[in-house]
């Protein structure tokens, strides 16, 4: 159970113009319905596992060493973005990682030896134990990533958080759909762009985005529609020039992600009649060169309740990792290495174009 009461969540200054699928009792709130919706679409080509078999993966994808432990601290968020595959929002306060699960994650980290911990949500900064957890990770000498929606840094409860993270060398991986107001507000709600710019200024003032390897600021782009992003390297150059010219802001790198046909983005696809066309677009853009770098092969995703998955997307679709007891407290390296990765049609989202993962493009440039 969450330690956050509902009245706590009402003070988050929510943005995005939506409520979660769960709050609206939309059938697509259920992962089984999402999977069935994707599976029901007639495709012109082979399904994902058949495409893998055609490029030499007859036995499917196999996971290797866990290099990155990704912890979903909960689904509570101050925003309800239209492309959110987590279906996060201010109403998701009950799904927050409990202290004993946080402790189990730290114990597992010590056993597994991952060198990077990726904190995500919802908005991970809203977890009541966010700062103690970061300190525990820094004490262990691991690289910490904070997946930040930017506007969360402006909440009164997070005053000084940018400086606090900078002191600890936390890399901020910040979602910014576009360097222009129109596209960002279309995806995240009216006023979201201005809040993002204000938060980026806080981060720059704290030393982020200025080339310091201990204060790395990574921006994340998702297209505002049923298409693939442009080339990551050229987009990075354009964004760098645009944000510097228009707002005197800087960042270290840009990663471009494909939108996953899951949760609220799937709802948008369904409501606009774009589901089949988008899946066909992903299938047509299948890139064999993107497969080796897929995040599911070196990342372990942990849900707020301690259940483990091959990736964050499988977590949202409730496709658990293929291990005897898929809970973080039960894992050892030998139960994880070589396991078969659970796959489905959504996986075309990670292999389309230049590839897409929590770290950006997966195909060699």
Give the whole-angstrom CA distance, residue 261 versus residue 269. 8
Q: How confident is the model at residue 359 (pLDDT cuts 50, 70, 90)?
A: confident
CB atoms within 10 A of CB 84: 29
What confidence tier does 4 reach under pLDDT thresholds 50, 70, 90?
very low
CA distances from 52 to 62, 63, 278, 336 (A): 12, 14, 20, 21
* Residue 107 in domain: no
Helix (H) or strand (E) holding 31: helix 31-39
Question: What is the enclosing helix (H) or strand (E) of 51?
Answer: helix 48-54
Q: How confident is the model at residue 12 (pLDDT cuts 50, 70, 90)?
A: low
For residue 187, give the CATH number of its domain. Answer: 3.20.20
Residue 277 lies inside a defined structural domain of this protein: yes
- As a whole number of angstroms, the distance between CA 285 and CA 294 comes to 15
Q: What is the mean predicted confidence (pLDDT) over 274-282? A: 97
- 3: pLDDT confidence band, cut at 50, 70 and 90? very low
- Per residue in 314-337, pLDDT (tens digit) is 999 999 999 999 999 999 999 999
- Asked if residue 2 has pLDDT above 50, the reply is no
Is 164 domain-assigned? yes
Residue 179, domain member (yes or no): yes
User: How far is Cα 16 from Cα 169, in angstroms, rounded to an integer?
Assistant: 30
Strand pairing report for 308-309 and 299-302: antiparallel
Mean of the pLDDT values across residues 273-287? 97
Which among 253, 234, 223, 177 has a CA at the least distance from the CA of 349? 223
Domain that holds residue 131: 6-43+74-99+112-293
| Residue 10: band (very low, low, confident or very high) from pLDDT cuts 50, 70, 90 | very low
pLDDT for res 189: 85
Any domain includes 181: yes
Q: What is the DSSP letter of 256?
A: E
Q: Which residues contact 67 (CB under 8 A, 6 or more apart)?
A: 114, 115, 116, 298, 299
Distance CA(237)–CA(293), nearest Å, equals: 23
In this predicted model, what pLDDT tens digit does every residue of 211-268 receive, in sequence order?
A: 999 999 999 998 988 999 989 999 999 999 999 999 999 999 999 999 999 999 999 9
Q: DSSP character for 304?
A: T
Assigned domain for 1 exists: no
pLDDT at 101: 98
Bridge-based pairing state of the strands 171-175 and 116-120: unpaired
The model's pLDDT over 126-152, given as tens digits with 9 standing for 90+, comes to 999 999 999 999 999 999 999 999 999
- Residue 1's pLDDT band, with cuts at 50, 70 and 90, is very low
Nearest to 174, CA basis, from 156, 151, 143: 151
Q: What is the pLDDT of residues 28-86, one digit of tens each?
A: 999 999 999 999 999 999 899 999 999 999 999 999 999 999 999 999 999 998 889 99
* 109 — pLDDT class (breaks 50, 70, 90): very high
Supply the pLDDT for residue 11.
53
Strand partners, 159: none
The CA–CA distances, whole Å, from 215 to 142, 145, 163, 164, 252 equal 14, 11, 10, 11, 9
**Tokens standing for 186?**
């279309």
Residue 22 maps to a domain:
yes
Residue spans of alpha helices (H) in 113-191:
130-139, 161-167, 181-188
Indicate the SS3 state at residue 74: strand
Q: Which residue has the tokens 């298409």?
A: 227
DSSP single-letter state for residue 277: H
What b/e string do you get for 182-220 counting C-beta neighbours within 10 Å, with b at 16 or more?
Answer: ebbbbbbbeebbebbbebbebbbebbbbeeeeebbbbbb
In a domain, 318, yes or no: no
The tally of domains found in the chain comes to 1
pTM, entire model: 0.94
- Among 1-15, 123-137, 340-354, which stretch is predicted with the lowest mean pLDDT? 1-15
* 207 touches 163 (CB < 8 A): no
159-215 pLDDT per residue, tens? 999 999 999 999 999 999 889 898 888 888 889 999 999 999 999 999 999 999 999
Instruction: Provide mean pLDDT across the span 297-326.
Output: 97
Residues 6+ apart with CB under 8 A from 80: 14, 15, 16, 17, 18, 19, 20, 88, 89, 90, 189, 264
Residue found by looking up tokens 């409860």 in the block: 157
Place of tokens 């103690």: 132
CA distance 254 to 263: 24
Q: Which residue has the tokens 């938060």?
A: 199
- Beta-carbon neighbour count of residue 37 at 10 Å? 18
């Amino acid at each position: 159970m969450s330690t956050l009461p509902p009245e706590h969540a009402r003070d988050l200054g929510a943005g995005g113009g939506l409520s979660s699928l769960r709050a609206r009792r939309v059938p697509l709130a259920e992962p089984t319905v999402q999977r069935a919706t994707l599976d029901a679409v007639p495709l012109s080509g082979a399904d994902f596992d058949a495409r893998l078999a055609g490029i030499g993966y007859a036995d499917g994808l196999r996971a290797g060493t866990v290099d990155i432990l990704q912890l979903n601290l909960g689904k509570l968020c101050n925003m309800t973005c239209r492309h959110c595959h987590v279906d996060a929002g201010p109403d998701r306060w009950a799904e927050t990682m409990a202290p004993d699960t946080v402790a189990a994650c730290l114990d597992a980290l010590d056993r597994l030896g991952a060198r990077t911990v990726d904190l995500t949500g919802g908005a991970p900064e809203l977890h009541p134990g966010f700062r103690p957890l970061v300190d525990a990770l820094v004490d262990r000498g691991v690289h910490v990533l904070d997946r930040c929606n930017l506007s969360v840094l402006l909440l009164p409860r997070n005053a000084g958080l940018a400086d606090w993270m900078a002191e600890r060398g936390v890399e901020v991986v910040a979602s910014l759909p576009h360097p222009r107001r129109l596209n960002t507000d279309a995806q995240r709600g009216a006023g979201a762009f201005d809040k993002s710019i204000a938060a980026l200024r806080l981060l720059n003032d704290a030393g982020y985005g200025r080339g310091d390897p201990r204060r790395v600021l990574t921006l994340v782009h998702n297209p505002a529609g049923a298409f693939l992003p442009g080339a990551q390297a050229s987009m990075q150059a354009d964004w760098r020039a645009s944000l510097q010219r228009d707002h005197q802001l800087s960042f270290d790198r840009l990663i471009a992600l494909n939108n996953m046909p899951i949760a609220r983005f799937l709802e948008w696809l369904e409501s606009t009649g774009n589901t089949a066309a988008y899946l066909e677009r992903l299938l047509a853009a299948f890139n064999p060169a993107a497969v080796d770098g897929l995040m599911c092969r070196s990342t372990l995703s942990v849900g707020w309740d301690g259940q483990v998955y091959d990736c964050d997307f499988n977590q949202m679709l409730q496709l658990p990792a293929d291990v005897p007891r898929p809970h973080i407290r039960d894992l050892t390296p030998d139960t994880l290495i070589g396991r078969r990765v659970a796959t489905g049609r959504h996986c075309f989202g990670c292999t389309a174009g230049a590839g897409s993962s929590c770290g950006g493009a997966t195909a060699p440039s």
